[in-house]
Chains A and B, each alone.
Chain A
Amino acid sequence: MALQEFLDQLEQLVSEAESTFNSAENTDALEEARVEFLGAKNGKLKSVQKLMGTVGSEDKPVAGKTFNQTKGRIENAFESASARIKGGDGDTTRDTKFDSSLPGDRFKLGRIHPITQTIEELKDIMGRLGFSTADGPEIEDDWHNFVALNIPDDHPARDPLENFYLATAEANSGEKNPVNLLLRSQTSTVQIRVMEKTKPPIRIISLGRVYRPDTADATHYPMFHQIEGLMIDTKVTMADLKSVLRLFATSYLGDDVTIRFRPSFFPFTEPSVEADYYWNNQWIEFGGAGMVDPNVLQAVGYDPEEVTGFAFGLGVERLCMRRHGITDIREFYKNDVRFLAQF
């Protein structure tokens, strides 16, 4: 017998069995149909199986495979007909060997890193407050990392020991205008890049990896993540800053919180503050914030007499550690799969 002929017979058998099973109206009729098609001795499936011997040996693998599929399809049709009849006439056939307490067939799902989960949540909250996400390079020049952010040449923040400068900076030091490249020490660089290209109003958050030469210990790592917000418009005040931070903290914590400002000092904001939120009967540090310094607005070509704005920045690791009870920042970058599986 040619392979195709055999395969056609199998196909025909399936449709025949399906229609017979489906038309059976009670257990007896179904059992009769079962014997007809699936009977161990003289069932029709058995008969067709015998024909397989007549198929050419080179076609045997295909024939065998298709036969097995056919058998499965007919058995499935029987099962569903059986289920239909049991459900319909209240047949109380029992399976006393069934153990509902055995584990189900579980799926192995991967986990999203807790830092990413935190970032996504923060982005989501800020998105609802009208802040869109902006991205920028991690390797920066000193204009974007310092100069435009009102950090002058003699500022300690520019010290080589406070930054990861690239060795290429030395190579081109012979040139007229050597460009110092470094791994960005803050995501404010993205704000500069956005402002250079966009006219106000601006409402963005920038986030990502930042780098500072800290010795790795339980609370420090030389690479971490920051989220920074920036809002620039004609009438942005410090009250807007406080209100946005309160909404942000309230959304994140899921309960109404209050915000406190303590004076601080950052070159790119004036006034500068540390923002705290009140939670579980204590003040908890949220992050640094302030009104964008007029020098920064000027550096990107804005007129400080026309527009004002605020900026704030938070450390993602710190928020994430507090939220999930993580006590060692290095866990984030070790990637023990048992650690990852906890989130």
Chain B
Amino acid sequence: MELTCLSKGDGFHYPPCHMLNISGFRVLIDCPLDLLAITIFSPVPCDVGFEASAYPSEEDAQNPIQKKQKMERQMSFDDLVCVEPWYKTVKTLHLWEVSLIDIVLISNPMGLLGLPFLTQNPRFCAKIYMTEATAKIGQLMMEDLVSMHMEFRRLHGPEDSSFPCWTKNLDGEEVPSVLKNVVFNGDDLGSWMRLYSLDDIKSCMKKVQAVKFSEEVCYNGTLVIKALSSGLDIGACNWLINGPNGSLSYVSDSILVSHHAKSFDFHGLKGADVMIYSGFSCLQTASPTDSDYISTSSDENDESLAASLLDNEESLEELEKLAFVCSCAEESADAGGSTLITITRVGIVLQLLELMSNSLESSSLKVPIFVISSVAEELLAYANTIPEWLCEQRQEKLISGEPSFGHLQFIKDKKIHLFPAIHSPNLITSWQEPCILFAPHWSLRLGPSVQLLQRWREDPKSLLVLEDGISSGLGLLPFRPIAMKILQCSFRSGIRLQKLPSLLSLLKPKIVLVPDVVNQRINLSAIKTTSILNYSENKTLSLARIADNADVEIMAELATKLSWKKLRQRENFGIARLKGELVMENGKQRLVSGLDQEEDSGKTRPLRHWGSVAPETLLDALMKMSVTGSIEHSIGENGSEDKSIIHLTNPSSGMVETSEMCTTIITDDETVASKIFQAIDGILDGI
């Protein structure tokens, strides 16, 4: 097995990407887009500009000389690249020959976003697996991305953004290094792509084989692949691959107890031969201190380990965060300000919508909720038809006949309004401020969030709810100065670092591959049952085969038909020459009855012999077949090899030369030769 980590990704929206070589097949796990990188583009062209562009910090304007002297001057809106955005794929993925990829596994909707770039290559021929929910949600997200991008083109016209025209201007010295880092990351511009089209998405999705959780699919008869719920989002999964050389599990960022998606399924992952742990999100959590370090002594049983992993504390914390966002939104609505929520994580949006409308219902506030997205209607309808993919509490709702997510009734009662775009005809008539508004895109470069942010940015009563990591980078730059209150939310996107040891002790893989950056942060040496190997980005780690001998199963029916031999020397043994056909079925090598083969008499003759022939015994045996002769012993040169020769006289002349290792029949008489052979076969064991 070989593992190459192509990218360790960056949080929820940019999952890691791996290339795996298992049983001779090349497997790509996830194909994400680095959407944070599009923050280098300006959300509106410079010339159209809005006030902010004429808003360079005053000091800089007064001291142009000073500005140039500063190496790291204050970044301004003008620095952003003012063209139609390009999209950044995994850096080293395009260096791999597309046609050599056999299988693509997509773990979650985010991991699907870059896939059309691969499938639009005519040489692409891999089999793609993902869960049904990932396929549906991922497709909607891609379609939304394309529609937002088209919207951008419609508003600002197709710029001449021929590659690498826009990168040229970025080579200059005065360009801020932040920008350069994003664009040129390792001098590699090959990862920047022009966005795919709706047709590309369609043809990509046609190649997908959608699976259910725990459904076993078999690739080429050799690999049995199974998706197991990871709890990260609806449809997100970890993978288990069973092959003839053992089992391998791929565990990515997982959420142990979820309030929307089906929770982490660890039963199926237990006891794999090799486990690849790629939960990079755990690095974003604080290093474990001694106090929250969970002891992982080996005597702890599975139940207590599972219990410690599945404690409610984290998920309650998560609910508190959601409730906090709601209360903040209500507060600003109370004060007459609107709330713009740019979070696009499906699970979070569904929960927020439900919480928000419930709490508005119970309060006296009459604030409308708007959801503006080209796919909102379909996504929200879809969310209520997939009980199989949701957490247990929501499955219970199905049993009692309630919809899985509470937004349905509110949409009917016109408390939640859905609009495909900001220019939808009915939007103006139902528009009302203050309001609570959900709008993509979280990068603040595409979609209705751009216009709405322009509208409200100077209103100190309004509230902006952001995804984690946006405000620290270039994200808010085009909108500065910003008077809105800003709430940046970091929702869980993986297992906490300190829970990793317990997880490993529970899953008990024989070998676990952990990113070196993770291993540096936490001491995993306490886990004795598992050997731990490190892997790092863009380096290939090879692993020798674990099992000594491959398993082959023989159909019992066939085994009884074999001609069994008892050995003269060893009674404990039974041996038989094989028949039938060796086939690979469901990752198992099996020997089954083949087509009826002609029973060739010659085939039954033993082809391999062992033991030794005593010349006297052989002569006796030959006598019984009325072949006579005499024995001559000769001692080989240096006395190394004893040789005996039987000279045959009757019925025809011939010779049998025999030594410890071999016997040679020398005659020109075919029948005599067969008789001699028969006699020898009677003395030696053979097969």
Do A and B interact? no
Which residues does B use to contact A, with CB under 8 Å?
A: none
